[in-house]
C-alpha cells in the first residue's frame, strides 16, 4: 500500500491535481436526504451514508430548532455549536463529536460507487471546520478505506490506521479547511469512513483545550466537534514530467520545471536519496553534465543537462573591399549545424560585393555564437583595359599587342607571361590578372579569333614522270570552306575533278598518260573575308604538263 498525505501546508500542491475520474463517494455533500432532520443524531436521513454505533449529526438550512433540547439545534448557519455557513452555497453538512477525554468517537461511513482498482492512484479529500463552541481542537482527522464496513466497538475508537490523516491541528472556526492526499489502492477497497482513529492517550493525537463550555450540550462542552462536507474519492492519472532546456552553453543558466500533479522532490542522480529541492522550478548553472531526478511516491522522471562547447569560427577583421571585386565571408565550424546570416542566407559561407555590417550566428543544436565583420568602403581597383574581342589573320603575319594597364604584377594565361604587354601570335582566349599597389587584384579576358580571306595557288607546270618531284598537280587552298578543282584539255573535256584539297591530278586520263601540252584549270572556293562575311571566289588559268 502506498499513501501520500497532502494536507495543510501541502494543500496548495493538491489543488493543482486534475480530477480525472468521477467522485466515487455517493451523496458527497449530504444534499440528498429522505426528509428534514428535526434533531441531532438523525444521520440515517442522508443515505447511503451509514451511522455506526455513535451517531453523527446532519445539519440543514432552514431547520426549526426544538427549544427543549439544545443539542437538537442543527440549523445552518447558526446553531448550538455557534455559526458555520454552508460550503459553496449548499444546504447540508455533517457534524462529528470526538470526546478526547472519555474515548467517544463518531464516524461517517459510506459504500463507494465501485471498488478501488489495485495499483491505481486515488485522490481522497474532505473539508472540515471546528465548531465555535467546541472545547477541544485536534489533529488526526482521517479517512479510512476498507474492503468491508469497519466495526465500532461500542462508541469507542475504530482501531484502524487511516490512509489519510491530518498531521496538524485544525483550529479554524471561520473557514472550511481542505484535507487531501493520494492513495495507491491495493484493490477491492469499497468503504470510506471519516473520523479520528487515534486513542485519547496516543502521543500522535495533538489537542488544544480551550476550557469547558456551557452550551448545555455535551457534544460541545467536553469534546472536539467538527463539521464535514464535500467528501470525495477520485481516480487520477499521475503526471511526472520535467520541462526545460537540457542543452546549455558553458556558464549558461536553465530552469527545470516539474510538470507533476502529485507531491514531488528533486534529487541529483549522484545522490538520489538526498533531497535537492522541493520547488516547482529549479534554476541551474551546472559546470559539468549533470543528471537531475524528479521523484514521487508513484514514479520518477530524469533528465541529463549537457554542457556543449560553442562552435569555433572567426569571420576575420573588418576590411575594405576592392572596387568591382567580391569577398567570401566563411563561418564554417566543424560542429556548426545552423547558420543564420543577417542577409538571410543559411549557408556556411557567403560572397558579398557591397559595404555594410555582416553578422552570422552559428548554432550546434544547443549553443549559438555570433560574429560580425564590417566592410566600410572600397579600395580603388579600375577595370583592366584589354579591349574587345578581336579578329586577326596570323596566316599573313598579323600581330596583336595586349596592354593590361597600370599595376605592380601581372600574370597572363595561357602564355604565363608576367609583363604588362604581350604580343599575340595565335588565336586563343587570353586572360590577365593585374595586382594593384593597394593589393587589389582584377582580371580581364579577351578572345582573339583568326579569320583570313581564302586564297588559292596552282603551279604553272608539273612533271608526272615518277621521279617523286612535282609528279602531281594540286590546287593549294587556305581558309576555304568549300572547294572544287577541275582540269580541262584542249578539246574541252573535263579530265580531272576533285572537292578534296589533298587530292591532285597525276597526268593521266582514262588510265593513259595525257599528252604533253597546255591544259586549262578552274578552282571554285568559298571562305570568310576580313569582316567575317562569307564570300565566293574562282580562279582560272593554264598549266603545262611536261615529261
Task: Please give the Cα distance from 172 to 137 (Å, whole number).
Answer: 9
* Domain 455-545 grouped into CATH 2.60.40: yes
**Residues 351 and 327 sit within 8 Å (Cβ to Cβ):** yes
| Per-residue burial over 366-377, b = 16 or more CB atoms within 10 Å of its CB, e = otherwise | bbbbebebebee
* pLDDT given for residue 520 in this prediction: 95
Residue 70 DSSP SS3: helix
Tell me: the pLDDT tens digits for 198-244? Answer: 999 999 999 999 998 777 788 888 899 999 999 999 999 999 999 99
Q: What are phi and psi of 44, to 5 degrees?
A: -65, -10
| Per-residue burial over 155-175, b = 16 or more CB atoms within 10 Å of its CB, e = otherwise | bebbeeebbbbbeebbeebee
**Residues 229 and 90 sit within 8 Å (Cβ to Cβ):** yes
CB atoms within 10 A of CB 88: 10
Q: What are phi and psi of 198, to 5 degrees?
A: -115, 145
Q: For the chain, which residues make up each domain, given as ranges? A: 2-236, 241-307, 321-377, 390-450, 455-545
Task: Please give the Cα distance from 125 to 14 (Å, whole number).
Answer: 10
**Residues 106 and 58 sit within 8 Å (Cβ to Cβ):** no
pTM to 2 decimal places: 0.59
CA distances from 395 to 390, 425, 429, 449, 476 (A): 15, 10, 18, 12, 14
Task: Please give the Cα distance from 532 to 527 (Å, whole number).
Answer: 9
* pLDDT given for residue 88 in this prediction: 85
Grid coordinates given for 455: 586564297
Query: Can you give the C-alpha Rg of the chain in angstroms?
Result: 55
**Residues 486 and 494 sit within 8 Å (Cβ to Cβ):** yes
CB atoms within 10 A of CB 469: 8
User: E strands along 299-337, which residues?
Assistant: 299-307, 321-322, 327-330
Task: Please give the Cα distance from 94 to 109 (Å, whole number).
Answer: 12
Task: Please give the Cα distance from 120 to 157 (Å, whole number).
Answer: 29
Task: Please give the Cα distance from 322 to 443 (Å, whole number).
Answer: 12
CATH fit for domain 2-236, picks 3.30.1490.20, 2.60.120.260, 3.40.50.300, 3.10.129.10: 2.60.120.260
| Per-residue burial over 233-257, b = 16 or more CB atoms within 10 Å of its CB, e = otherwise | bbbbebbbebebebebeeebebebe
Residues of the chain with pLDDT under 70: 1-20, 65-68, 391, 394-398, 530
Whether the upstream peptide bond of residue 82 has omega within 30° of 0, thus cis, is no
Residues 6+ apart with CB under 8 A from 68: none
Task: Please give the Cα distance from 429 to 89 (Å, whole number).
Answer: 99
Q: Give 246-261 as a DSSP string.
A: -EE-TT--EEEEEEES
Q: What are phi and psi of 155, to 5 degrees?
A: -115, 25
CA distances from 281 to 41, 237, 244, 257, 354 (A): 49, 22, 9, 4, 49
* pLDDT given for residue 431 in this prediction: 95
Q: Which of 68, 66, 78, 67 is nearest to 42 (CA)?
A: 66
* pLDDT given for residue 170 in this prediction: 97
**Residues 523 and 539 sit within 8 Å (Cβ to Cβ):** yes
Task: Please give the Cα distance from 37 to 66 (Å, whole number).
Answer: 11
Amino acid at each position: 500500500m502506498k499513501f501520500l498525505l497532502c494536507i495543510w501546508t501541502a494543500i496548495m500542491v493538491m489543488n493543482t491535481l486534475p480530477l480525472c475520474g468521477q467522485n466515487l463517494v455517493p451523496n458527497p455533500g449530504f444534499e440528498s436526504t429522505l426528509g428534514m432532520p428535526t434533531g441531532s443524531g438523525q444521520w440515517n436521513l442522508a443515505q447511503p451514508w451509514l451511522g455506526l454505533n455513535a451517531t453523527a449529526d446532519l445539519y440543514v438550512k432552514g431547520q426549526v430548532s426544538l427549544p427543549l433540547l439544545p443539542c437538537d439545534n442543527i440549523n445552518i448557519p447558526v446553531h448550538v455549536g455557534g455559526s458555520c455557513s454552508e460550503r459553496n452555497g449548499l444546504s447540508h453538512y455533517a457534524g462529528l463529536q470526538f470526546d478526547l477525554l472519555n474515548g467517544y468517537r463518531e464516524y461517517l461511513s459510506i459504500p463507494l460507487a465501485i471498488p478501488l482498482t489495485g495499483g491505481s492512484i486515488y485522490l481522497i479529500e474532505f473539508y472540515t471546520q471546528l465548531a465555535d463552541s467546541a472545547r477541544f481542537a485536534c489533529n488526526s482527522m482521517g479517512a479510512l478505506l476498507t474492503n468491508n464496513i469497519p466495526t465500532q466497538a461500542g462508541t469507542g475508537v475504530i482501531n484502524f490506521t487511516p490512509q489519510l490523516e491530518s498531521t496538524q491541528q485544525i483550529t479554524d472556526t471561520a473557514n472550511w479547511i481542505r484535507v487531501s492526499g493520494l492513495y495507491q489502492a491495493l484493490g477491492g477497497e469499497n468503504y470510506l469512513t471519516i473520523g479520528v482513529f487515534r486513542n485519547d492517550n496516543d502521543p500522535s493525537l495533538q489537542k488544544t483545550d480551550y476550557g469547558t463550555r456551557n452550551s448545555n450540550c455535551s457534544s460541545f462542552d467536553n469534546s472536539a466537534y467538527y463539521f464535514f462536507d464535500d467528501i470525495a474519492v477520485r481516480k487520477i492519472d499521475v503526471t511526472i514530467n520535467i520541462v526545460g532546456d537540457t542543452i546549455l552553453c558553458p556558464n549558461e543558466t536553465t530552469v527545470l520545471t516539474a510538470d507533476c500533479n502529485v507531491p514531488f522532490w528533486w534529487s541529483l542522480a549522484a545522490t538520489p536519496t538526498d533531497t535537492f529541492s522541493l520547488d516547482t522550478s529549479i534554476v541551474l548553472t551546472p559546470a559539468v553534465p549533470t543528471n537531475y531526478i524528479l521523484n514521487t511516491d508513484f514514479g520518477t522522471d530524469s533528465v541529463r543537462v549537457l554542457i556543449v562547447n560553442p562552435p569555433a569560427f572567426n569571420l576575420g577583421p573588418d576590411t575594405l573591399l576592392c572596387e568591382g571585386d567580391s569577398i567570401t565571408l566563411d563561418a564554417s565550424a566543424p560542429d556548426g549545424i545552423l547558420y543564420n546570416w543577417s542577409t538571410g542566407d543559411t549557408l556556411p559561407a557567403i560572397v558579398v560585393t557591397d559595404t555594410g555590417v555582416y553578422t552570422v550566428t552559428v548554432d550546434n543544436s544547443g549553443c549559438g555564437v555570433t560574429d560580425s565583420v564590417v566592410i566600410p568602403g572600397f579600395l580603388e581597383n579600375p577595370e583592366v583595359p584589354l579591349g574587345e574581342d578581336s579578329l586577326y589573320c596570323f596566316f599573313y603575319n598579323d600581330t596583336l599587342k595586349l596592354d593590361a594597364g597600370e599595376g605592380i604584377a601581372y600574370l597572363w594565361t595561357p602564355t604565363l607571361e608576367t609583363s604588362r604587354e604581350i604580343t599575340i601570335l595565335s588565336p586563343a582566349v587570353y586572360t590577365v590578372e593585374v595586382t594593384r599597389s593597394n593589393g587589389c587584384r582584377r582580371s580581364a579576358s579577351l578572345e582573339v579569333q583568326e579569320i583570313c580571306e581564302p586564297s588559292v595557288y596552282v603551279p604553272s607546270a608539273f612533271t608526272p614522270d615518277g621521279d617523286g618531284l612535282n609528279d602531281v598537280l594540286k590546287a593549294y587552298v587556305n581558309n576555304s570552306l568549300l572547294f572544287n578543282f577541275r582540269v580541262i584539255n584542249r578539246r574541252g573535256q573535263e579530265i580531272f575533278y576533285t572537292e578534296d584539297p589533298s587530292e591532285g591530278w597525276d597526268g593521266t586520263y582514262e588510265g593513259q598518260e595525257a599528252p604533253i601540252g597546255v591544259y586549262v584549270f578552274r578552282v571554285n572556293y568559298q571562305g570568310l573575308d576580313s569582316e567575317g562575311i562569307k564570300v565566293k571566289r574562282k580562279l582560272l588559268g593554264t598549266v603545262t604538263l611536261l615529261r
